[in-house]
């Protein structure tokens, strides 16, 4: 049964080959000072930086730069960004990049006017935002996280070996996001498939929870089928516009809060992956891929009906004459061979984790209670061992 909820998503999207024109519509709504936030330099190589700067100048903006946002942005970089935004007296933070840049921009946006340590307030104590927020806009260049249309912000603290996400409210969602699928063509294959699995994982985290007949589960099965189909095309031909645009759109819908409404969700794969990330700094989607099969095989008996439904409706397993268990196992086997076929990393060893790190990674893992089995620390340790 659908639970009670309120639903509002305030992010305005501009989608397609001309999406960047949307900046001309949005910029006049904000003051003169723009903090332009970006990553390690890909936008300078592929020309997106020049295009954005030209539009900012044409709109008479003062541009202040904050580059060098690393994948898995850190609490130290966040503190630097807060100072930069303060010095710029930023009226708008424009994030041009992937999820790391968008997440970081949101974290800066809620911290500039708050007189507290941002890491402690938002990522350890999960406090609400009580200060003014600087508006954020995004030009997305890497697809996967859904950060372009949600309030999520994930920050890593290397000293504390923690990678933590705060899901902020609607007032922190990007005011607008610009989604041009062609901007993703220059992504290395490793990043593209990592993003594809991040999308799949976001959907599965919300799908593998609950036993009710919920419309969201049907929507998610459709999103998954489209994702698998488009991923197969994009892996062979990364400049196939149809496939890349589908993947970009699925990513947004996978985590823009819609499919979670009225249902329970899990998110334990993300907790496992984020702990691996906190210790190895590995690419987000790959950390999820590396722990997924041991996790799903372990919890399958506790959510057998849903795993069997997944096998039939997403992977096309024929259930005739088979037990639910056989059907569910065949579904997971099909998922595993597809993951290998698109080039995902299937173990945490390849991501830099070693057996002697497992106790520390287990310690860093948060336990969620919305999945089919609430894990204890010894179960988590054994999943990591199987993921080595
Ligand atoms: O830094 P640059 O030089 O731009 O290179 C980036 C980076 O190395 C590169 N890249 C991005 N666009 C490119 C490109 N290279 C060539 N051409 C382009 N068009 O890709 C690399 C990865 O970028 P990053 O932003 O780190 O990837 P992603 O979008 O996967 O973001 C990952 C971060 O988002 C968090 C993750 O934990 C991680 O910290 N997440 C955020 C979520 C949210 N806001 O809701 C949910 C997710 O589950 C996730 O946890
Ligand atoms: Zn994710």
Residue 299: CATH number of its domain? 1.20.1090.10
> Does the Cβ of 184 fall within 6 Å of ligand 1?
yes
Ligand nearest to the CA of 147: 1
Question: Is position 5 within any domain?
Answer: no
SS3 93: strand
Which of 9, 39, 248, 366 to mutate to test ligand 1, by most ligand atoms within 8 A of the CB atom? 39
- Say yes or no: 123 and 246 in one domain: no
* Structure tokens belonging to residue 375: 């894990």
- Say yes or no: 147 and 169 in one domain: yes
Instruction: Tell me what the mean pLDDT of segment 229-245 comes to.
Output: 98
Ligand nearest to the CA of 204: 2
- Categorize the per-residue pLDDT at 46 as very low, low, confident or very high, splitting at 50, 70 and 90: very high
Instruction: Tell me what the mean pLDDT of segment 149-177 comes to.
Output: 97
| Residue 123: Cβ within 10 Å count | 24
The confidence score (pLDDT) of residue 1 equals: 83
Protein residue with least CA distance to atom 40, ligand 1: 145
- pLDDT cut 90: percent of the chain above it: 99
In angstroms, rounded to a whole number, what is the distance separating the alpha carbons of residues 107 and 75?
Answer: 10
- Residue finishing a domain among 183, 213, 240: 183
Protein residue with least CA distance to atom 18, ligand 1: 187
Question: Is position 137 within any domain?
Answer: yes
- Say yes or no: 207 and 292 in one domain: yes
The confidence score (pLDDT) of residue 2 equals: 87
> 364 alpha carbon to ligand 2 midpoint, in Å?
17
Which residues in 198-237 are b (16+ Cβ under 10 Å) and which e?
bbbbbbbbbbbbbeeebebbebbbebbebbbebbeebbee
Which of 11, 20, 42, 172 to mutate to test ligand 1, by most ligand atoms within 8 A of the CB atom? 42
- Say yes or no: 250 and 375 in one domain: yes
> Does the Cβ of 201 fall within 6 Å of ligand 1?
no
Question: Is position 3 within any domain?
Answer: no
* Residue whose entry in the numeric block shows the structure tokens 């991923």: 231
- CB-CB contact of 279 with 361 (8 Å): yes
Question: Is position 130 within any domain?
Answer: yes
> 371 alpha carbon to ligand 1 midpoint, in Å?
26
* Residue whose entry in the numeric block shows the structure tokens 């209670």: 369
Instruction: Tell me what the mean pLDDT of segment 259-264 comes to.
Output: 96
Total number of domains in the chain = 2
Question: Is position 30 within any domain?
Answer: yes
Q: Which atom of ligand 1 is nearest to the CA of 147?
A: 44
> Does the Cβ of 101 fall within 6 Å of ligand 1?
yes
> 106 alpha carbon to ligand 2 midpoint, in Å?
16
Q: Which atom of ligand 1 is nearest to the CA of 106?
A: 44
The confidence score (pLDDT) of residue 219 equals: 98
> Does the Cβ of 14 fall within 6 Å of ligand 1?
no
- Say yes or no: 309 and 253 in one domain: yes
> 294 alpha carbon to ligand 2 midpoint, in Å?
18
Protein residue with least CA distance to atom 48, ligand 1: 145
Task: Please tell me the total number of residues recorded for the chain in this structure.
Answer: 388
Cβ-in-10-Å burial (0-12, 13-18, 19+) of 4 comes to exposed
> Does the Cβ of 154 fall within 6 Å of ligand 1?
yes
Cβ-in-10-Å burial (0-12, 13-18, 19+) of 245 comes to buried
- Say yes or no: 174 and 291 in one domain: no
> Does the Cβ of 147 fall within 6 Å of ligand 1?
yes
Question: Is position 6 within any domain?
Answer: no
pLDDT digit string (tens) for 286-303?
A: 999 999 999 999 999 999
> 31 alpha carbon to ligand 2 midpoint, in Å?
33
Mean pLDDT of the chain: 97
- Categorize the per-residue pLDDT at 339 as very low, low, confident or very high, splitting at 50, 70 and 90: very high
- Say yes or no: 255 and 143 in one domain: no
> 199 alpha carbon to ligand 2 midpoint, in Å?
7
> 351 alpha carbon to ligand 2 midpoint, in Å?
16
Which domain covers residue 148, as residue numbers? Answer: 12-183
Strands 162-167 and 152-157: antiparallel
- Residue finishing a domain among 183, 206, 234: 183
Q: Which atom of ligand 1 is nearest to the CA of 156?
A: 39
Which residues in 260-277 are b (16+ Cβ under 10 Å) and which e?
bbbbbbbbbbbbbbbbbb
- Say yes or no: 70 and 168 in one domain: yes
> 198 alpha carbon to ligand 2 midpoint, in Å?
5
pLDDT digit string (tens) for 369-379?
A: 999 999 999 99
Q: Which atom of ligand 1 is nearest to the CA of 39?
A: 1
Whether residue 8 has pLDDT greater than 90: yes
The confidence score (pLDDT) of residue 225 equals: 98
> 87 alpha carbon to ligand 2 midpoint, in Å?
32
> 147 alpha carbon to ligand 1 midpoint, in Å?
10
Q: Is the dihedral of CA 351, 354, 359, 360 positive or negative?
A: negative
- Say yes or no: 303 and 251 in one domain: yes
Instruction: Tell me what the mean pLDDT of segment 161-182 comes to.
Output: 97
- CB-CB contact of 267 with 260 (8 Å): no
- Say yes or no: 306 and 157 in one domain: no
- Say yes or no: 144 and 215 in one domain: no
CATH code of the domain in which 168 resides: 3.40.50.1970
Instruction: Tell me what the mean pLDDT of segment 171-182 comes to.
Output: 98
- Residue finishing a domain among 161, 183, 205: 183
**Which secondary structure element, helix H or strand E, spans residue 307, and what is its range?**
helix 304-315
- CB-CB contact of 89 with 29 (8 Å): no
Question: Is position 2 within any domain?
Answer: no
- Say yes or no: 172 and 195 in one domain: no
- Categorize the per-residue pLDDT at 228 as very low, low, confident or very high, splitting at 50, 70 and 90: very high
């Amino acid at each position: 049964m659908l639970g009670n909820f309120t639903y509002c998503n305030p992010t305005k999207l501009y989608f397609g080959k001309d999406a960047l024109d949307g900046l001309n519509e949005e910029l006049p709504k904000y003051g003169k000072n723009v903090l332009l936030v970006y990553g390690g330099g890909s936008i300078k190589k592929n020309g997106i930086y020049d295009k954005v700067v030209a539009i900012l100048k044409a709109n008479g903006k003062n541009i202040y730069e904050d580059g060098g946002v690393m994948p898995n942005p850190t609490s130290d970089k966040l503190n630097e960004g807060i100072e930069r935004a303060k010095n710029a007296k930023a009226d708008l933070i424009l994030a041009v990049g992937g999820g790391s840049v968008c997440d970081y921009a949101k974290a800066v946006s809620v911290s500039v006017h708050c007189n507290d340590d941002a890491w402690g307030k938002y990522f350890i104590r999960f406090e609400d935002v009580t200060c003014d927020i600087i508006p954020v806009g995004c030009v997305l260049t890497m697809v996967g996280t859904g950060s372009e249309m949600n309030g999520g912000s994930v920050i890593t603290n290397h000293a504390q070996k923690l990678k933590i996400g705060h899901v902020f409210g609607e007032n922190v969602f990007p005011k607008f996001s610009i989604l041009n699928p062609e901007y993703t063509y220059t992504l290395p294959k490793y990043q593209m498939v990592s993003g594809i699995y991040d999308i799949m994982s976001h959907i599965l985290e919300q799908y593998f929870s609950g036993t009710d007949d919920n419309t969201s589960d049907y929507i998610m099965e459709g999103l998954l089928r489209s994702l698998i189909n488009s991923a197969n095309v994009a892996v062979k031909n990364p400049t196939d516009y149809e496939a890349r645009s589908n993947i970009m759109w699925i990513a947004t819908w996978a985590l823009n809060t819609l499919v979670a409404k009225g249902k329970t969700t899990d998110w334990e794969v993300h907790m496992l992956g984020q702990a691996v990330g906190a210790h190895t700094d590995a690419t987000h989607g790959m950390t999820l891929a590396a722990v997924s099969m041991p996790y799903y095989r372990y919890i399958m008996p506790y959510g057998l009906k849903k795993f069997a439904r997944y096998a039939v409706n997403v992977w096309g397993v024929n259930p005739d004459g088979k037990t639910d268990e056989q059907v569910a196992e065949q579904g997971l086997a099909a998922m595993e061979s597809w993951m290998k076929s698109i080039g995902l990393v299937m173990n945490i060893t390849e991501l830099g984790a070693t057996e002697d790190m497992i106790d520390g990674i287990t310690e860093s893992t948060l336990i969620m209670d919305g999945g089919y089995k609430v894990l204890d620390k010894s179960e988590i340790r054994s999943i990591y061992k199987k993921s080595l």
